[in-house]
Amino acid sequence: MTTIALPITSAGIIQDRVAAAVREGLGAKRKLLPPWLFYDAAGSRLFDEITERPEYYLTRTERGIFAAHAQRMIALAAGPNGVGLEENEPARLRIVELGAGSADKTRLLLAAAVALQGSVVYEPLDVSASALEAAQERIEREIDGVTVAPRVMDYSHEFEAEFGPRPEVDLELAETRERRLVLFIGSSIGNFEPWEAAELLRMVRRGLQPGDLLLMGADRVKDEATLLAAYDDFAGVTAAFNLNVLARLNRELGADFDLESFAHRAIWNGDASRIEMHLESRVAQTVRLSGMDIDGPDFEVDFAAGETIHTENSYKYRPGQAEAMMAAAGFAPVESWTDAQGWFGVCLGRAE
């Protein structure tokens, strides 16, 4: 097992990004916060708890798809249809994961890659250093043959800059016939507005070479009761996860949010085909943030009773929609998989 250390990330840079996002989102007419703010150390732990809740079908359903099809997914990705390969000559894969988190399901794909080619380089990308460290420790302990090279980064803005074409890198890849397989699983694509999702997929494509691949998971539309339960579990873990974003602002930005005066709300917006998560102010109140690193008085935010902060969207797709999104971004369809109920889809596309 080979380990590559996490890159050093400045705490000041992270705080500046948090402050900028909060200033913009809470200063808007309709208040919002970006979902990446969920994933500090506490939020990452809570999300892992959510994935184990019986109501949260997404993780276990996608894991079941990988358990049944990981070997074929890896074999297709390494297949002989890549640029610069001789007929029937497989490529060597390097696996990159966007928003890796705990990388729990990814272990199935890594094990399949090791079985096929003996070893594999795995590059998990995430905004949470603590999640990457936990994933790295577990993968190192459980799977021989994986070189873990984690990166703390916001893939939605930095992927092309980090992985885009570089002549010296491209030459090396051509000589070794290494091919990237990018994982974008867990239905993370659903957290982006449709236009943002389309641009994100185009950005990923620009960061790849012809013949590289994208494996994407996308949750599907189903009955409203099942959807709502997944985002508002009986034990209240999702509520704690949502409220933790306010606790994070208290810790990092000197805010004085009273968590008891906000309530978690999950809503199914059928017209937009998405679950929405909100934090609703139970009373009229003013919140102050003293650690925003700006001149003048503290940053203050007024809330009316019943006013909400929109914290997350999770779009749900119909069969074929995810494949169409990938094709529009420049990924030719290779194969798709789903579970017995058709609740979740995973699709593989090759960069053209």
Contacts of 54 (CB under 8 A, 6+ apart): 233
The answer on 170 and 71 residing in a single domain is: yes
Name the range with the highest mean pLDDT among 61-70, 98-107, 139-148.
61-70
pTM of the model: 0.88
Residue 190 is assigned to a structural domain of this protein? yes
Residue with tokens 């358990």: 67
The answer on 208 and 63 residing in a single domain is: yes
- pLDDT of residue 131 exceeding 90, the answer is no
**pLDDT attached to residue 17:** 81
Residue 22 is assigned to a structural domain of this protein? no
The answer on 175 and 58 residing in a single domain is: yes
- Whole-number Å distance between alpha carbons of 299 and 203: 34
For residue 155, give its domain range.
49-222+317-351
Residue 12 is assigned to a structural domain of this protein? no
What is the total count of domains within the chain? 2
Question: What average pLDDT does the structure give for the chain?
Answer: 89
**Lowest-pLDDT choice from 74-88, 252-266, 291-305:** 74-88
The answer on 210 and 105 residing in a single domain is: yes
**pLDDT attached to residue 331:** 98
Tokens of 152: 């703390």
Tokens of 335: 């194969």
**pLDDT attached to residue 188:** 94
Work out whether the CA dihedral 115, 116, 119, 125 comes out positive or negative.
negative
The answer on 107 and 90 residing in a single domain is: yes
The answer on 267 and 292 residing in a single domain is: yes
The answer on 336 and 303 residing in a single domain is: no
The rounded percent of the chain whose pLDDT value lies above 90 is 74
Residue 61 is assigned to a structural domain of this protein? yes
Q: Average pLDDT, stretch 173-180?
A: 64
The answer on 346 and 303 residing in a single domain is: no
- Whole-number Å distance between alpha carbons of 206 and 343: 30
Residue 249 is assigned to a structural domain of this protein? yes
pLDDT tens digits, 305-323 = 999 999 999 999 999 999 9
- Top pLDDT among 295 and 250 is at 250
The answer on 340 and 197 residing in a single domain is: yes
Residue 25 is assigned to a structural domain of this protein? no
Residue 114 is assigned to a structural domain of this protein? yes
pLDDT tens digits, 50-68 = 999 999 999 999 999 999 9
- pLDDT of residue 167 exceeding 90, the answer is no
Tokens of 295: 């001149």
The answer on 325 and 208 residing in a single domain is: yes
Residue 13 is assigned to a structural domain of this protein? no
The answer on 161 and 304 residing in a single domain is: no
The answer on 109 and 248 residing in a single domain is: no
- pLDDT of residue 175 exceeding 50, the answer is no
In the structure, what pLDDT confidence band is assigned to residue 154 with cuts at 50, 70 and 90? confident
Tokens of 230: 């997944």
